[in-house]
Amino acid sequence: MAADIWGRARPGGSRGFSLVEALVALVIAGGVVTAYYGAMASSLDLARRSEASAEAAVIAGALLDQIGHEIPLDPGGYEGRTVAGFGWRLRITVGAGIDAVTASEDLRRIEIDIAGPGLAVPYRLTTLRVSAEILR
C-alpha cells in the first residue's frame, strides 16, 4: 500500500494528488495570476495618465511663454491642436485679479485648458500677467 509524505497509508494505494487537491491548487494559482494582472493594468494606466498630465503641463508652459510674443496679451480667446493630439484653449480677460483686492485694469487673467488622450479631466493653468502698457 502506498504511503503519503507522513508515512500514513493512502486508501486504494493511490499516489499523487487527488482531483480536489489539484482543483484547489488551480483556483489559488488563478487568483494569484488575476490579482497580478489587475495590479499591472492599474499601474500601467496610472503611468499613462501621469505621462499625459506631464505633457499637458509642458504644452501649457510653452503656450504661456508665447504670450506677449506670438500670442498678443490682448483680451480674447485662442485655441488650437498639437501634433500629439492635445487640444488647447487660451482665454485672456482684463481686470480680473485673484480677488476683489487684486482686481485691476492693468492685470490680465490667463487661463489655459489642455485636453487630450490620456487625460481624465482637462489640465488647467491659470495665472496673472501685467499688461504691456504698464511695463513701458
The secondary structure of 13-50 as a DSSP string is G--S--HHHHHHHHHHHHHHHHHHHHHHHHHHHHHHHH
Q: 86-120: per-residue pLDDT in tens?
A: 999 999 988 765 555 556 677 888 999 999 888 88
Q: What is the CA radius of gyration of the chain?
A: 31
Q: Which of 61, 46, 62 is closest to 118 using CA atoms?
A: 46
Cell 495618465, located at residue:
49
pLDDT confidence of residue 128: 86
Q: Could you give the percent of the chain with pLDDT greater than 70?
A: 79
Residue 124 has pLDDT above 90, yes or no: yes
